[in-house]
Amino acid sequence: MRVLDKPGITPDGLTLVGFAIGVLALPFLALGWYLAALVVILLNRLLDGLDGALARRRGLTDAGGFLDISLDFLFYALVPFGFILAAPEQNALAGGWLLFAFIGTGSSFLAFAALAAKHQIDNPGYAHKSFYYLGGLTEGTETILLFVLGCLFPAWFAWFAWIFGALCWMTTFTRVWSGYLTLKSLQRQ
């Protein structure tokens, strides 16, 4: 991390560079260049980890946390869209299902994070994050595994998307239920 902790290199700058590299996955996937897409997907995720590490070293900021999560969500949406463009007749329904499921996981994630901040709900297990959120069955690591598998076995993307989308809905339902119970318990206090 010391290599990156230099004047002129900022966590937000790493976030932006990582996102710009990640955006290349869209045309690479659409053109069927799956190994090139895999490389930029992995570089995007590497820079996403490095921006967070540098931010923790220098001090987390709300602006940086906002930028990071916003661009992460856009990146997570553009990858399935790239698979849809690559083979619409094969991937459109499954990719649409996956994007729909990502809306569920994303909205439940962000809605709880916003209300946890409002009610000053802290979780020591997430002290290194910009905000507190409920975990789930399908998080960042699992999503990247899905993208890697899709790039390595593109003919199977539709199957992966159907299955992963179902797992995302399980995450959404558990987050909504847990979040509801957590926030409901605050009303009783």
Task: Provide the pLDDT for residue 89.
Answer: 98
Task: Judge whether 140 and 107 are in contact, CB under 8 Å.
Answer: no
CA atoms within 13 A on the CB side of 28: 18
133 contact partners, CB below 8 Å, separation of at least 6: 109, 110, 112, 113, 116, 126
What's this model's pTM, rounded to 2 decimal places? Answer: 0.88
pLDDT of residue 168: 96
Calculate the dihedral angle through the C-alpha atoms of 44, 45, 50, 56, rounding to the nearest 10 degrees: 120
Question: Which pLDDT does position 60 carry in this prediction?
Answer: 87
How distant, in Å, are the alpha carbons of 67, 165, 183 from that of 188? 35, 35, 9
Q: What kind and span of H or E run contains 184?
A: helix 157-188
pLDDT the model gives residue 132: 53
| Residue 5 pLDDT | 74
- Domains of the chain in sequence order: 11-188 (1.20.120.1760)
Q: With a cut of 70, which residues of the chain have pLDDT below it?
A: 1, 123-134, 189
